[in-house]
């Protein structure tokens, strides 16, 4: 949506002019979206506020004030994404309600883990909108100073907090600022119980956050065979295998190695008894799939060839979407791998 309120105000003035001139289309718009004023159109008693209400309701807002808040919120998000702290502070000073505004309209905001997000939820770049600004810590400090709640939740089930979004963010991971952001948030009262979850490393590892996973592991997060495989730590993988883990855990670890394209570790796990075609749930929130499904979907041809050379079946169907590894390859846009799998 355009962040310039002037466009909407101009539309309202033109609508008002046409309605006063008796335009059937304009009058119909008042009937549909401004019934409170519809009875006054014939007497010419409608005014700009009536027209502004029609424009707001045509844009699916209950009032002109609601539309203005949304437009200002989007301007604040743009300032946040660009690292323009001055503009962000100016907007929050002029419109302090923005710090607690929940966005419920537009892509990402209506359903899913980012539904109803507030400004602070945007600092992780998750979902990805643009590159993180280099001064992201300064941006966060500005939001917290203005009263942002570090424990506020978003998502369909109101279960995603800012630290959770940081831990699962590829951009934060790639920028190497995950621990700095987590520390800053915790200094301002953010609850860090998620960091104590014994499976916390699965969050970044399953969301392309290898840097964050390594940083958390360095701080003492619990590491099992799956995590060691995802981290690409050959020595740690061998140590975990010395504990004689169950075959299913070895198979689940193989999916983590595949996700991060760790070929050497995949070989080690295959030698340890993994097959690459056993349906497993890598972590609690991920549906069953095989390592071959993952390799095919991500376009890792060398791993696909490795798994097939070790006898992995290309006929296994995962239960959620009913897809074969070839189907996952096509879904991922890897036609050559799909054709390779279909030839076998």
Confidence band of 35 (pLDDT split at 50, 70, 90): low
How high is the pLDDT of residue 39? 62
Residues 6+ apart with CB under 8 A from 307: 266, 270, 276, 277, 291, 292, 295
The residue-averaged pLDDT of 4-10 equals 89
The residue-averaged pLDDT of 7-29 equals 91
Confidence band of 1 (pLDDT split at 50, 70, 90): very low
The residue-averaged pLDDT of 15-38 equals 83
The residue-averaged pLDDT of 237-259 equals 97
Asked if residues 30 and 100 have their Cβ atoms less than 8 Å apart, the reply is no
How high is the pLDDT of residue 28? 87
Query: What does the pLDDT look like over 49-69, one tens digit per residue?
Result: 989 999 999 999 999 999 999
Smallest CA-to-CA distance from 279 within 305, 317, 332 is with 317
Domain 66-217 of CATH type 3.40.47.10: no
Residues 6+ apart with CB under 8 A from 250: 225, 241, 269, 272, 273, 274
pLDDT at residue 330 is higher than 50: yes
pLDDT at residue 186 is higher than 80: yes
**7-11, 103-107, 256-260: which has the highest mean pLDDT?**
256-260
Asked if residues 86 and 94 have their Cβ atoms less than 8 Å apart, the reply is no
**How many other CB atoms are there within 10 angstroms of residue 208's CB atom?**
17
CATH fold, domain 224-343, is: 1.25.40
pLDDT at residue 201 is higher than 50: yes
Kindly give the interhelix angle for 263-271 and 247-259, rounded to the nearest 10 degrees: 170
**How many other CB atoms are there within 10 angstroms of residue 187's CB atom?**
11
Residues 6+ apart with CB under 8 A from 321: 327
Rg (CA), the chain: 26
How high is the pLDDT of residue 38? 56
pLDDT at residue 313 is higher than 90: yes
pLDDT at residue 337 is higher than 60: yes
pLDDT at residue 319 is higher than 60: yes
How high is the pLDDT of residue 225? 98
Question: How many angstroms separate the CA atoms of 51 and 19, rounded?
Answer: 9
How high is the pLDDT of residue 2? 42
Burial profile 66-79: b = 16 or more Cβ within 10 angstroms, e = fewer: ebbbbbbbbbbbbb
Question: How many angstroms separate the CA atoms of 134 and 213, rounded?
Answer: 21
Question: How many angstroms separate the CA atoms of 257 and 22, rounded?
Answer: 69
Confidence band of 33 (pLDDT split at 50, 70, 90): confident
Is pTM beyond 0.95? Reply is no
Question: How many angstroms separate the CA atoms of 102 and 148, rounded?
Answer: 12
Confidence band of 344 (pLDDT split at 50, 70, 90): confident
Asked if residues 19 and 26 have their Cβ atoms less than 8 Å apart, the reply is yes
pLDDT at residue 42 is higher than 60: no
Residue where the block lists tokens 């549909």: 32
Instruction: List where CATH 1.25.40.20 sits in the chain.
Output: 66-217, 224-343
pLDDT at residue 166 is higher than 60: yes
Burial profile 215-241: b = 16 or more Cβ within 10 angstroms, e = fewer: bbbeeebebbbbbbbbbbbeebbeebb
Q: Which of 155-159, 278-282, 285-289, 338-342 has the lowest mean pLDDT?
A: 155-159
pLDDT at residue 120 is higher than 60: yes
Confidence band of 152 (pLDDT split at 50, 70, 90): very high
Average pLDDT score, the chain: 94
Kindly give the interhelix angle for 178-187 and 136-145, rounded to the nearest 10 degrees: 10
Within the chain, residue ranges assigned H as helices are 5-20, 24-33, 35-38, 48-58, 64-82, 85-94, 136-145, 162-167, 170-175, 178-187, 202-205, 210-218, 225-231, 234-241, 247-259, 263-271, 291-298, 301-309, 325-331, 335-343
Confidence band of 46 (pLDDT split at 50, 70, 90): confident
């Amino acid at each position: 949506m355009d962040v310039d309120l002037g466009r909407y105000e101009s539309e309202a003035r033109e609508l008002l002019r046409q309605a006063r001139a008796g335009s059937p289309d304009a009058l119909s718009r008042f009937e549909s979206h401004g019934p409170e004023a519809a009875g006054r159109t014939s007497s010419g008693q409608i005014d700009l506020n009536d027209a502004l209400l029609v424009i707001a309701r045509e844009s699916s807002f209950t009032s002109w004030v609601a539309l203005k808040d949304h437009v200002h919120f989007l301007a604040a998000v743009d300032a946040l994404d660009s690292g323009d702290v001055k503009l962000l502070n100016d907007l929050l000073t002029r419109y302090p309600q923005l710090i607690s505004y929940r966005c419920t309209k537009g892509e990402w905001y209506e359903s899913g883990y980012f539904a109803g997000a507030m400004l602070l939820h945007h600092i992780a770049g998750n979902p990805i909108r643009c590159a993180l600004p280099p001064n992201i810590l300064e941006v966060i400090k500005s939001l917290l100073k203005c009263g942002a709640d570090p424990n506020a939740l978003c998502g369909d089930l109101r279960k995603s907090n800012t630290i959770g979004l940081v831990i699962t963010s590829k951009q934060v991971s790639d920028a190497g600022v995950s621990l700095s952001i987590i520390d800053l948030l915790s200094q301002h009262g953010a609850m860090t119980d998620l960091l104590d979850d014994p499976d916390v490393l699965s969050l970044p590892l399953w969301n392309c956050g290898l840097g964050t996973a390594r940083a958390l592991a360095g701080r003492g997060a619990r590491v099992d065979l799956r995590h060691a495989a995802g981290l690409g730590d050959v020595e740690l993988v061998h140590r975990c295998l010395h504990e004689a883990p169950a075959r299913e855990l070895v198979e689940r670890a193989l999916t983590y190695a595949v996700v991060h394209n760790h070929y050497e570790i995949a070989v080690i796990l295959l030698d340890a008894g993994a097959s690459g075609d056993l349906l497993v749930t890598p972590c609690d929130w991920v549906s069953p799939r095989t390592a071959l499904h993952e390799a095919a979907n991500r376009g890792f041809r060398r791993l696909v060839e490795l798994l097939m050379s070790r006898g992995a079946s290309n006929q296994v169907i995962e239960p959620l979407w009913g897809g074969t590894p070839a189907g996952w390859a096509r879904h991922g846009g890897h036609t050559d791998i799909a054709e390779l799998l279909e030839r076998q």
